[in-house]
Structure formats: structure tokens, C-alpha cells
Structure 1
Amino acid sequence: MHKNYQQVLALVFAVEEINQNPNLLPNVTLGYHLYNTYHSDERTLESSLKWLSGQSPTMPNYSCRIHNKSVAVIGGATSALSVQMGSLLELYKFPQITYGPFDPLLNDKVQFPSLYQMAPRDSFLSVGIVQLLFHFGWTWVGLISTNDMRGEKFLWNTAEEMSRRNICVAFIEKIPVSERRQDESHVPFMPRILASSAKVIIIHGDADSLMILRYSQPPILSPLKLWIITSDLDITLRAHHYESCLFHGALVFKHQISEAPGFSRFLKSVNPVKYPEDILLKTFWHSTFSCPDESAKLEERECSPNASLEDLPLAHFDMSMSALSYSTYNSVYAVAWALHEMFLMRIEMGFEGCGENFTLQPWQLHSFLRNIQFNNSAGEQVVLDAQRNPVAKYDIMNYLTFKQNELFVKVGQFIPKSLLDQNFTISENSISWGISQPTVPESVCNESCGSGFRKLSCEGKPACCFDCVQCPEEEISNQKDVDHCMKCPDAKYPNKERDNCLPKTVAFLTFKESLGLTLTSIALAFSLLTVLILVMFVKFQDTPIVKANNRTLSYTLLISLTLCFLCPMLFIGHPTSATCLLQQMVFGIVFTVAVSSILAKTITVVLAFKATRPGSKMKRWVQPRVFNFFVFICCMIQVALCGIWLATSPPFPGLDLHSEPGHIIIVCKIGSVIAFYSVLGYMGFLALGSFIVAFLARNLPHTFNEAKFITFSMLIFCSVWLSFIPAYQNPKGKAMMIVEIFCILASSAGLLGCIFLPKCYVILLRPERNTLEYLKQKANSRSHSEILTGRHI
């Protein structure tokens, strides 16, 4: 991993800078020992033991150095390496400053009292990543992290934050931290990841995790995923040359750092000639610049006379200071300032400052490291206290590859201050997506529900996996992926697509529309026919068939039927307070007059038959004024009921907003339901009485007996209005008025047809039957027939 050599150079740069600073550790020269851990647990322990014993092979608990002035250890690019070092160094109380990613586990002072973390805390990393997901609408996301406490905490925080934003976890892959050597990893991570339907993958781990992940991948991959990578991983470190295109377009959360002044200039000056004793630099130089033979290791001129680190590609070396190098730089300064404070304290107490006879014990440095606080050369404050350790700030970088060139482009940033105070910015136009994704990729479990549809959760599946169902008839949705449709305002209605509310038009049953015109024509035609029958009865008022069964009742019935046929005219047209009152009142009173007249005619038939018997006292009751008074009493009862209706809760004009989509129907509300059905019930009582009396008197031997015709008319009347009651409950708006109009016309036509058409037939077509001679002859024949029947019996 050639790029990691920058961490060594950051340490060298800091030591040289301190040694040249007359105000920091005067008369003291800092030195250092470098040990390579190879990112291996075994090599980490081996290097630690070598440093402690001073020779190889190592001898635990014994140092070959006579004057060992080492006071601190700076190391641990990963948490696993820091734990391996800390377990051994803690035995000797050596201060250990780790420059790797911040790990809450290492912050445990009971387990690691001598360990200090330099990196800033990643407390809000999950919040920033989820904000990025939410911004682009990625709701189906995979998570990859290391299988340790730090990885578990990241997974927990990220999953919890995703759940708050209704983002689902498609899968979770955990990378074993025990596999430090990448070529020994045989876990097939990549095939499982690529098989997932999630297009966006979040990778979190340390410097080793990505290498392990890459060695597990198949040799040929197409860049089908968008990767979101945390700052602890360097995707420019590759196991194979073809991997750069795989991560093209990735978004990386990098720690914001302020590069130390002069560091870039220092890197340009580094070469084996400047540091001839640095065997690591010679090895690095030979490997990165591909020197031709072994002799070139020692002689730069044979390798490349003008070679410089800035000529190397990004995969081999980065001229910009990395986060790990920045932490290393600050770690060296932290140790220097701790030593400086300790020497100042000794001078103030009257002890010798830093002479040769002074032996510094590593454990003495702890009290100064815990309280160290200073500003580095970049102007940023540095502390080692875990409680005061600052929260990390992030630049969102877009990783791009063009042939052999690689670069990072800043496309946004995330600066957390608190949970409620955050600064998240992203420039979509600056982002170059993957090769197969020219536009913003979609990462969802299924397609979004468009306008007019709502989400329906599927049992046993995550919340992000759902079906799309159309909104109900009276509801709309004008956004994507809504959980619930919303109702339109009362004055509006949904369109066919159910994604918008349109204003309703005011409507009512008018004379101009076809249905209103048809009903009006029928009503006028029947009322005209009734008037013609009335005129005909007046013209033939002296004939026997008109005189029969009370001529006055016939006139009253015909007049009331004429008004009954005209009642529907009150139901057609714009409803007003006056028309709403007249509709039900006129209907109830007029029909009561008609039905009570029929009841009186039926009773007339019965009483007339009984009055013909010798010695009968019924003759005094068979008088026209008696039945006229009977009709008047029946009508007054209905008038009283209507008066109570008007006094309590009269009908009034209202709006029907829901019966017909797209229309606001102006209708007459009946007001009191009890009063309405009381009026109907009273008419039904009179009609039922007429039907029963007429049915019983249908076979009475009387001239022009109307009982049979009244029986049929009342049967039609009762059938119509009995079927009206349930039919009236369901229809709304215009349909409700049409049902009532139909019942009025049908029942009125039944009364007119059954009672008066037979008489009209006799008057117009059989005038010979409408004479006294015919009636006497018919009566004599009936009497003779009765005598013969009696003899036979």
C-alpha cells in the first residue's frame, strides 16, 4: 500500500518542524523509530515487541537499549491494530496515540487507560449519509461494515436513522476483521452484493476492509452500483487495475482537514538522496518508480534523475494530506507539547529541565497528554480529551476515473453542530454518476406510486416494498408515494386520473334537460286528460253513471287528481324556500283529498247496499253532505300534521355534495323525517282503509258498483308507495326527486285509470248503457235471477 507511506512522511515532517522551532522543546531534539505492521495482527505484536526489547529475536520484558528514551507510541491505522498494540503497551504504561478512525470501544479508559485517540468523532456520520439518501430519494439501500463493535454501532445508528426517514435496509454484509491478509479472504461478498436489487451500497470500515472486499469479488464486474463510502476507506487503493471503473461515480464522505502549511512543498523535496538512511524510502522509491534493477535502489540517478512524488498517479501517492496523515501530524505535536509542558513544570519547580541525568518515564506523560490543548500550524485546536474531542466535518467527494487518471471532485459538504443544527449541501449538477448511470440512479424496492395512487403495504415485506392502488372514488393524491389519499373540498371533485380536484358545477332538475322535460310533458298530459274527464262528467252530470256514488265526490276526486298530476312541477326547477315548503305540503294535502274521496266513495257503496233493505235505518247516512264532511275531516287531520311539520322542522333548500361526481345538486331537504313519514303514513292508512272496504264490497249487487275498480286502484296505489319507501332511502340528489315524481305520477295515473276510464268508456262508447231504461231492465233481470236461484236452492 504505497499511499500509506504519506503517514510516515507526515511524521518526519512534524518532527523536523518541531526540531526547527526554537519556542517548542528548546535544547531538545526529537527522534523516532519506524516499524511496519503490514496490517497484520501478528506483525503488529512482533513490531511492538521489537520496539520494547530493542533487538530481534524479541525478548519479552527485557530491553537491550541502555538508554531508552522512547516516551510514546503513535500508531494504529485501524481499531484492530490499536487494540493489539494497546494490550501489550498497557503493561508498561506507555502512552499510545492512535491516528486511525475514532472508535468508541477504544474510548473505554477502564480497558485502555493509556490510549488516546486523535481522530475526530464520527457521531453524526450516519445522519449525513441518511440525509444524502433522503435527498436523492434512495429508499432501498445495502449496508456493508466491519464485524466489530465499531461496525455494529455504525450499522445500528444508520439503520435507526434510515428508519426515521422511511428508508429500508436491503441487506447487511459484515466483513470479518480477523482476515487481515487480503489474499486469504475467500468469502464471496461481491456476488451477494451484486445479486441484490439495491442500486446504492454504503461501505463503512477501516483501511483493510475495502481490500478484503475487493479480493472477494469475481474477476470481471460491470459498474452497476453506486457506492457511498466513508472517509476511513481509500478507494484508490486497489488490488487490480480494472477496479477503478467499478467505483467511478462513488460518493465519499471525507473528513474536512486543514493541510499543514509547507507539507506539499516538503513532499516535493523528498527523495532517497535527502534521506539516505531511510531504507523504507528506498524500498518505496524502487517499487513506485519501477527502477530497473537492484543497484538502482541505492542510486537514484539510475532509477530516474528527476523523479518526484508529485509525478505518481493517485493510486500510488496523493500529494494532498490525508486524514490519517493529518492525525499523525497532530499526534507528533501532541507528544511534543506534552513534553514541553512537563519540562516547563520541572523548571518552575526548580528541577533540572532536560539534562542528560534526567530520565523520563513514559507514565509521567499521561497527566500532560490528558489535558493537552493547543492550536496546530493550520490554526485548528487539538485536544486528546475524549469528551472535548471535536465532531468530524465532512466534504462529500465524487470519485472519477478517466482512463489511467483519478480525481476527487467536491460536490457537497456536511457540517454537523448538533442533532438539530446541521449544514448539508449537495450540488447535483456537479456529480458524475457511474458509467451505466448517466442520470441520478434509482434505488427503490419497487417503482414509485404516481399521482392518483397510494401505497399499500405488503405483509411480510419491508415498508419500502409496497403495491400501488388507485385512490377511492372521492379521493386524490397529487404526490408520489403517499400513504393516504386525501379528500377533495366539498366544492370540488376528483378528475378521472384522481390526481387533481376540479370545481363542481351547480345542478338541479330543470325543465330544459331531457328527463325534466319528459316528466313535465307526462304531468301536463295526464292533468289535461283529467280536466277533459272532469269536463265530460260535468257535461253528462245528469246521466245515471255520473250521478252514481255521489257526483260531488267524483268532481272532488278529479280536481284533486288534476292537482296531483301538477305536483311534480314543484319538484322541477331551482329549489327555493317557497317551493320546498309547497312540494311536500301540497303533495300531502292533495293526495289526502284524493284518497279520502275514494274512501268516501267506497263507504257510499256499502251504505247504499244496506240502505236498500226494507226497514233499514242507513238511509239517513246516505247523503252527499255526510261524505263531503267526512272528506273535510280527513283533510283537516292532514293539514294539522303538515302544520306541525312546518312549526317544528320544515323543508328547506340544501346542497347535495356527494351524490353525483362533479356536481353540487340543489335539493329540498325534508327537515323532520318523523313528520315526513307521518304524512306518508296517514295517507297510507287512508289508502289501506279504502282497499279493505272496497275489497269486501267488490261483489255487492249494486248498480254501477265501483268497489271492484277502487280495489284495483288502491292495490296500485299501495304498491307504488310501499316500494317508494325503500327506494327513497338509497338515491340521492336528482335521483331522489325523480323517484318521488315517478311515484306521484304512477299512483295518480292508477287512480285515474282504474276508477274513471271504465265510466268514460260507457259514456263515450256505450251511451245506451247510460240510461234509466237500461238500468231498470238490468235490475229486473238481476231480481229474476235471484228468485230462480232461491227456488233452486
Structure 2
Amino acid sequence: MVFKMPSPLEECRSIGNPSDLPVLVKEGNIVLGGLFSLHDAVLESPLLFTSPPPPAQCFGFNFRTFRWMQTMIFAIEEINKNPNLLPSITLGYQIYDSCSTPVQALRTALAVTGGQFEEESGNLKCSGTVPVVIGDGGSTLSLVVARFLGVFHVPQVSYFSSCACLSNKVEFPAFLRTMPSDFFQVDALAQLVKHFGWTWVGVVAGDDAYGRGGAQIFADEVRKLGACVALHEVIPKNHGKSHMARIVERIQESGARVVLLFAVEQDAGALLREALGQNLTGIQWLASEAWITAAVLSTPQFHSILQGSMGFAIRRADIAGLKPFLLRLHPSFDPHDPFIQMFWENLFGCSLHPKNDDDVDFNDTPSCTGLEELASTKNIYADVTQLRISYNVYKAVYAIAYALEAMIKCEPGKGLLHEGACPNMSTIQPWQLLEYLKQVKFTNDFGEEMKFDENGDPAAMYDLINWQLTADGDVKYVTVGKFDETTRNKLEIEDEAILWTGTTKEVPLSVCSKSCPPGTRRAIKPNFPVCCFDCIFCAAGEISNQTDAIECEQCLPEFWSNTWRNSCVPKQVEFLSYSDTMGITLMVVAIVGFCCTLMVVLIFACNKNTPIIRANNSELSFLILVSLSLCFLCALPFIGEPTPWTCMLRHTAFGISFSLCIACILSKTVVVLMAFKATLPGSVVMKWFGPVQQRAMISVGAAVQVVICGVWLTVAPPTPRKLSSRETTQIILLCDEGSVLAFSLVLSYIGLLASLSLLLAFLARKLPGSFNEAKLITFSMVIFFAVWVAFVPAYVSSPGKYSTATEVFAILASSYGLLVCLFFPKCYVILLKPEKNTRKHLMAKTT
């Protein structure tokens, strides 16, 4: 295949035919291109591929965008009149309508940057018509235009394209904007969600780069903050009825009270009309910047569902002289302006085309008289109260002007071009202007510093707008906060100035599950997002003292959770105290036993010379009674809070007292047994069991126990101990034995003495006598053993203070058993049967 080199004429030619595109032109030394979507849609003819397609037919005139276009013209004329800014240069413009369609936007971009033929010295030369383009409005349109212009390094300054994707300088090297990136708007919206505690938020996006990109960034950001996206729907560009209805149904079913609508005003309006049709109420709408101040949605039609809506809008300004400039228009103002005619006909609903008698007007549109007054209309075009995007257009024009000013004032060697070179102002190249635009920095008449960062983005500053109805029924855009990404505290909100979903001051609650109060924790539901959970009461011994706790905290070992599980309180200290019923009862029983013992001592002392006392060895009887009184008293140290002294006293006093008592009983048993053996003729046994021997036997019996206890206290004495478990609500105070061996020896020795007494008493049980001590001793020892044998399993199985109470009960029961069995029969005779307390009676029974 052979390629033919193009001729010079063929090297420089326009792609397509730009003459079929309506354009507003004004000549100047430097011409600025402008792309504005003056219409909302375009009617494309079917492509036959047999002939060039006919010109596109745009419809749906947008008065708001027309105001933006007029603002560009206003700024250019203001600069041309300014003697201090570009005094030697006149700016011109070429403005096209991109009709909100990517194809049409690309055609206008081709047209505005197309070449023209100039004949100089007999040669054809190709040069571009404009070195810079302002526009387009939508992010989807700017994506198409920016890719094309970026190839030729033609700078593009957008006033309304906020898609974060356009910050990519690899893909879009020549793209700049006066509109902050959606990244910052989404960050502001996410901070808003966090501020009001919303964790279940719906997201509905337009089906374009602006809507999809912003909604996805928002969904990612709120998830990082711990919130969840209840639904994520996309509005189709054809606004299909069934699809729109399904989106509204999904919003109703999700349970989300807060829904972000991230879309341009056309898509937002389509969804809101469907929401009206299905009577969707009670939703707090969060608006993206694209429609938060759109007048087309602030009509009474939407008041029922949009009052209280909230969103972030870019900074506004009051541009002096703009309103009279807007109202200057008239069909006769500029016959070559193709857009004035469209504007006038759509605004007044008339036709400027003269009619012949033969013309058939199917729409029955009246003719315009030319006397219509623009100032008398109430239209968004002349509304200068919310100049936000218009202000962006204004800043874009001035940014270009200041960049040109810097190029003019460039000093050789200090320029921004290669090796400090300065541009040739007679032949400005787009890439040269691009370098100066990147570095432009100025402060405008409104006190705002304007510059672009490394991504071509301006500093992000937003006003938080709240829709509130006035007394006249009109929507008022009330500023209730601001977001400034250059400050430390980015988000500032005046909560008291906000009206939610109407006139209420109460912040709407939008959660999948209500917050878990202190004392509970979150339990994630299977197959549900993390924001959907159940509230589980903290287990005993655990607390949560904050809302929405993930886990319950374990209390320290000495603390326990309160009833509401929201704080740890000291555990209840448990011991056998004098204040509780059990302690009081045991103390009373011990004191009564002690008093009974004293009464018996008193009775015996008053009747010590009676036969029954003398016959039963009064000295041993008194010694047994004294030891029994000690046994009753040794139960008292077991009651009360354990201390080092009471712990050492408890078991040692108990061991010694009972050893003394049993030793006395053992001695008395031996004496009784030997006394009857001594009655045999020639027996000398009693001389070995006289009073001295009896005392020695008792002393030795008690001394052995004293030695055991002394060694115990020396080597490993009992000490107070706190017995606590994480599973119990109490701290048990008890006395640790110190040495289990020593404690076992004490009990074993008492058991040994008791066993000997029981054995000897059992052997002497059939000895004659009216008051045979052997029978009484046998019975008392049986009771003693029964009590202490039952004590062992009861002591081991009793929890806490009940083990101590069991031990005290065993002490008292065995003491009462000894007292009753050994002494009450004698007291009965002394007090109630004195006739039996005679020598004759005793001798008779003995015989």
C-alpha cells in the first residue's frame, strides 16, 4: 500500500463542518472559547452512513446555563474596560452550545479549536483560533473535551465539572477548574453524616461520571467512618418509569431516613417526581452541589418532600453590575447572536419568526411583539441571589486574564518556559498559556485568593445550605454551616439554625439498629451489614459504660458489675458477722451455753457438800465445767471479720479448750472405771489414780495440744484470706489454716482423746450405780462423735461463711451435748428431786 503525502492544503483543514453549529462570536486580540450546555438534550437523527448527518436539534432551553454564559461575556467586557488589567489587549470570545451531550460537546470542542487558513506571503498557514477553552459544565462532557484538548495541550478551565477523576493529570494534563473536586464535597458530606450520627444512609446517583464517581467515593468514605450504605442505586439517563419506580421502592424498603441524591438537577428532578407520585415522605434528602441551589427544584411542586433538604454549595458572591447586564438583552440587541432568539422565545412562549398567511402553526404559538419586558419576569436567569456557578465562570475568566497579564509582564530569564524564556505575545501558543495558568495566583475583588493546586483544583470551600420555607411559601437557601479544607476544623455547623424535613428541630434518626445503651454490647446479625446488630446485655461481672460498645469489659477481681451493667462496684464482702441473722443466732447460742455452764457451776458450788456432788468427784466436775465454758467462748472468735489475731485464736483456742475438756472427761472415765475396780478386796489401784495423778493426766492431755498449736503458730500460722472468683459477686473473707497438717493434727488429737474416753466409758457402761458416770460419758461421747463426723462433709461442701458457721455449729453442738449429758441429770436431781440426793439413796442404788 502506498501512502500519499497530504498537500499543505490538506494538512490544515477542519474536521467536520463547524458552520452548522450556532456560535456567538466577538473578535479580539485573544479569543477565549466557551462551551455551555444551553439545552438539556439533543435529538439525534438516525445515521444512514450514506450522507453526512443533519445538524443536531437541541431542546430543553436552560435559563440557568444561559446566565452562566452571559456571566462569561460580562467578565470579558469588564476586563476590557479595566485600564489596569490587560490594557493593551482586547479579549474576544467564541461560545458554543454543547447541548448536554458528549457527542455535541466533542463537536463544539473541535469547532472552537479548529484551524483556519491565513495567506501570508503567498503561503498557507494553519493556526488555532483560541488558546484556551472555558467549560464545559458537566463532568461527563468535560471528560470528553479534556481528553481531546489534552492531546494538543490546549488549557481547559471548567466552571462546573467536579468529578474527582478529572484531577488525574496523566489523563487530563491540560484540565483546570474553578469548581472544587467532588473528593472534597464528598468528604464534607461524610463529615456531615458523622456529625449527626447517621449510620444507615441511602445513596442514589446519576448515571454519569459526576454521579457514579461522587457516589462511590461517598460510599467508601462513610464506611471508613463506621456507617453503612443502605442502598446504592443509579438513575438511568432515559428516566425509565419502571426503573425510577423501583428506586423509590428500594428507598422505602431500606428503612433509611437519610438519602444522598448525587446527581445533576435533571436526574434529581426525575427521581423526585417519581417520589412524589409514590408519596415518599419522611426522607431527609442530602443534596449534591449540582442541585442544592437549583431553582427548578425549589418550586412548590417539591416543597412537600424537599423542605429541610441539606447539602453543600460552593462559595457564592454578589457580582456588582451583573443584574443590569443580564437585563440588557432584547431580540434587537444583537441580530447575530443565535442564542438570544432561543432565550426570548422560551422565556415568553412566543415566536420571533414572521408568519405568512399560508403558514400553518400547529403549536399555535403567538408572535413576539418585542415589547416584552425582561425585568418583569420571575425567572432563574435574572436571579442573582445565589451566584455560585456564575461566580465560578467569573473566576475562570479572571484566572485566564491574570495568566495573560503574567505573560505580558514576563522578564527574560525569569519566565515559566524553558530556561526562563518568555512567550511571544503576538503568537501565543496554548501550551504556553497552560504553564502560566498553572502558576496563576491572585486575590479578586471579593477577597478570595484564587490559585490552582498541582491537580489543577482550587481550594475547596463550601456553604452548608438548608432549604427552609418562608412565610410566603418560597424556598430560602439558609447557610447553616461551612466547610473549608484549608482550616484545621474543616466542618462548622450551626445546629440550632437547621430545620429538618419541614419545621422540626429534632435531628432525624437514620440507623439500621438503634444504639446499644451502656450495659449492653453489639452483636452482629449474620448476613447483615455491620450497622445492623442486636444489643446483648453484658454478662455478670462485665460492663460497658459507653454507647454502642463492641465488647463488654471484665471488672477487676475485687469488683462486680452493678444491676445495669454500666459500672463496676466493689464486691460484697462476705463473712460470718455479728450483724447478720446467722451470726447473731450463733453468738446468742454460744452466750446462752456459756451462761448455762455458769449456772451449773453455781448450782454445783451451792450444793458441793451434797452426796451427789461429792460422789462424782467435784474437782473434776468443776474443771470440766470450766473447760466447757471455754469451749462455748471459743466459738465467738469465729464470728466477725477475720483478722490475723482472730485467725490464730480461732483454732488454737478451740483445740486447747476441747483438748482440756476431753482430757478431763477421759480422766473422769478412768477414775470411774478404776473406782469400781478398787472395790475388790486387796485392790490398791486407786492409789495410782488419786487427785495428783488425775491433775497430771489432764495437764499432759492438754499440754500435748498446746505444743501442737504452738508449733502451728510458729511455723505456719492461720492468716486472713480473701477468696474471690470472677464468676461470683462476693469476696469471701476467711481464715486460711496456714498448715493443713497442723489443723489435721489438732482435730486428730481431739478425736484420739474422745475415742479413748468413749472406749473406756463403753467398757464401764454396765457398772452398777444410780448415777453411773460411765453411761453418761458414753452417751456424751456418742453425740460428740456424731456431731464431728457430720461436720467434715458439711464443712467441705459449705460455701463462704457457711463453712465457718458449720464449724461454729459443731463446736456449740458438741459443747451442748457434753453439758446436757454430763450435768443436766445431776442438776435435775439437785433442783427437782432433792429426796434422791441422799447418801442412803445413793448407797442403796449402788448396792
Matched, 1:278 2:365: no
2:625 to 558, 563, 581: 558
Q: Is 1:45 the equivalent of 2:115?
A: no
Do structure 1's residue 700 and structure 2's residue 763 form an aligned pair?
A: yes
Answer yes or no: is 1:730 the counterpart of 2:803.
Answer: no
CA distance change for structure 1 residues 684 and 193 in 2, over 3 Å: closer, same or farther? Answer: same
1:197 to 250, 255, 259: 255
Aligned partner of 1:333 in structure 2 is 398
1 CA distance for matches of 2:662 and 2:216?
82
Task: Report the equivalent of 1:458.
Answer: 524
- One-letter identity of the residue aligned with 2:243: H
Residue identity in the other structure for 1:248: Q
Any conservation in 1 of the 2:180–2:458 contact (CA below 8 Å)? yes
Counterpart of 1:785? none
Is 1:674 matched up with 2:674?
A: no
Matched-pair contact (CA < 8 Å) for 1:90–1:114 = yes
**CA distance, structure 2, for counterparts of residue 336 and residue 648 of structure 1:** 100
Q: Matched residue of 1:22: which SS?
A: coil
Q: Which moved more, 1:542-551 or 1:331-340?
A: 542-551
Letter in 1 for 2:589: I
Instruction: Name the CA shift for 1:266/1:724 in 2 (closer, same or farther; >3 Å).
Output: farther
SS state of the match for residue 303, structure 1?
coil
Deviates further, 224-233 or 582-591: 582-591
State the partner residue of 1:137. 197
> Helix, strand or coil: the match of 1:35?
strand
CA contact (8 A) 1:97 1:116 kept: yes
1:525 is the counterpart of 2:625: no
Are positions 1:442 and 2:509 aligned together?
A: yes
Query: Which residue pairs with 1:22 in the alignment?
Result: 83
CA positional deviation for 1:171: 1.9
718, 731, 748: which is aligned to 1:685?
748
1:435 is paired with a residue whose SS is coil
Note the 1:217-366 alignment, pairs <5 A. 217=275, 219-234=277-292, 236=294, 238=296, 242-270=301-329, 272=331, 274-275=333-334, 277-291=336-350, 299=368, 301-304=370-373, 306-308=375-377, 311-312=378-379, 318-344=383-409, 358=426, 360-366=428-434
Per-residue deviation, 1:434: 0.7
CA distances 1:415-462 after superposition (whole Å, capped 9, x unpaired) = 2336xx2143222221111138552211222333445x3223234344
Structure 1 residue matching 2:130: 3-state secondary structure: coil
Of 708, 714, 735, 2:784 maps to 714
CA drift at 1:379:
3.4
- Asked whether the 8 Å contact 1:201–1:228 carries over to 2, the reply is yes
Q: 1:287 to 1:540 in 2, by over 3 A?
A: same
**What's the TM-score once normalised by structure 1's chain length?**
0.78
**Can you list the C-alpha shifts for 1:173-217, whole angstroms capped at 9, x where unaligned?**
1426xx445468935322212221221223335556534644664
Question: Residues 420-569 of structure 1 correspond to what in structure 2 (within 5 A)?
Answer: 421-435=488-502, 439-450=506-517, 453-460=519-526, 461-470=528-537, 480-482=547-549, 518-538=585-605, 552-569=619-636
Distance in structure 2 (CA, Å) of the matches to 1:7 and 1:485? 58
Q: CA deviation at 1:12?
A: 1.4
For 1:223, what is the secondary structure of its paired residue? coil
1:113 counterpart = 2:176: no
- Checking the alignment, whether the CA contact within 8 Å between 2:718 and 2:738 is kept in structure 1 is no
Counterpart of 1:236, as a letter, is A
What is the alpha-carbon distance in structure 2 between the residues aligned to residue 388 and residue 615 of structure 1?
Answer: 135
Q: Secondary structure at the match of 2:393?
A: helix
Instruction: Identify which range, 215-224 or 294-303, moves more after superposition.
Output: 294-303
**How many Å separate the matches in 2 of 1:149 and 1:205?**
10
Structure 2 counterpart of 1:32, from 93, 99, 106: 93
Distance change in 2, residues 1:715/1:648 (3 Å): closer
Relative to structure 1, is the Cα distance of residues 299 and 205 closer, same or farther in structure 2, using a 3 angstrom cutoff? closer
Q: Assess, with a 3 A threshold, how the Cα gap between structure 1 residues 487 and 575 changes in structure 2: closer, same or farther.
A: same
Q: Report the secondary structure of 2:91's partner residue.
A: coil
Closer, same or farther: CA 388–77 of 1 in aligned 2, 3 Å: closer
Letter in 2 for 1:186: H
Q: Which residue of 1 aligns with 2:27?
A: none
Asked if the contact 1:603/1:693 (under 8 Å) is kept, the reply is: no
Contact 1:77 1:207 in 2 (8 A): no
Task: Identify which range, 226-235 or 145-154, moves more after superposition.
Answer: 145-154
Match among 64, 70, 84 for residue 9 of structure 1: 70
Whether the aligned pair in 2 keeps the contact of 1:37 and 1:47 (CA below 8 Å) is yes
CA distance in 2, matches of 1:387, 1:86: 14
1:658–1:67 CA distance, 2 compared to 1 (3 A): closer
8 Å CA contact retained: 1:720, 1:747: no
Q: Say whether the 8 Å CA contact 2:201–2:256 is kept in structure 1.
A: yes
User: Cα RMSD (Å) of the superposition?
Assistant: 5.0
Per-residue displacement from partner, 1:96-146 (whole Å, max 9, x unpaired)?
222234444223333222322332345544443344333333233233446
1:653-697: CA deviation from partner (whole Å, max 9, x where unpaired): 9999999x999x9x9864x5315x566434421343245445655
Instruction: State whether structure 2 residue 441 is matched by structure 1 residue 373.
Output: yes
**Cα distance in 2 between the residues matched to 1:602 and 1:251:** 102
Length, aligned pairs only: 751
Which runs of structure 2 are paired with 1:411-426 in the superposition (5 Å)? 411-417=480-486, 421-426=488-493
1:84 Cα deviation after fit = 1.4
In structure 2, runs of 5+ residues without a counterpart are 1-61, 117-123, 355-364, 416-420
Deviates more, 1:529-538 or 1:393-402: 529-538
Offset, 1:304: 3.7
Q: 2:205 touches 2:211 (CA, 8 Å); kept in 1?
A: yes
SS at match of 2:277: coil
For the 8 Å contact 1:3–1:318, the answer to whether it is kept is: no
- State the distance in 1 between where 2:97 and 2:229 align: 39
Long gaps (5+) in structure 1 = 56-63, 781-793
Q: Percent identity?
A: 30
Partner of 2:93: helix, strand, or coil?
coil
Structure 1 residues 593-641: Cα deviation after superposition (integer angstroms, max 9, x where no partner): 2344445556667878998999999877645544533433343344455
- Distance in structure 2 (CA, Å) of the matches to 1:113 and 1:390: 16
Q: How far 1:247 sits from its partner (Å)? A: 1.8
Shift of 1:540: 6.1
2 CA distance for matches of 1:474 and 1:120? 53
Tell whether the 8 Å contact from 1:642 to 1:679 is kept in structure 2 after alignment.
yes
Deviation of 1:74 (Å): 1.8
Q: CA deviation at 1:366?
A: 2.8
In structure 2, what is the equivalent of residue 406 of structure 1? 475
Structure 1, 131-140 or 119-128: larger mean CA deviation: 119-128
Q: Which moved more, 1:75-84 or 1:462-471?
A: 462-471
- 1:144 and 1:648, CA in 2 relative to 1: closer, same or farther beyond 3 A? farther
Query: Cα 1:186–1:483, aligned 2, differ >3 Å: closer, same or farther?
Result: closer
Amino acid at match of 2:304: C
Is 2:243 the partner of 1:186? yes
Q: Provide the rounded CA distance (Å) in 2 between the counterparts of 1:298 and 1:648.
A: 122
Alpha carbons of structure 1 residues 638 and 768: separation in structure 2 relative to 1, 3 Å: same
* Cα deviations by residue, 1:522-555 (Å, 9 ceiling, x for unpaired): 3333222223333444566678876788654443
Please tell me whether the aligned partners of residues 590 and 633 of structure 2 are also in contact (alpha carbons under 8 angstroms).
yes
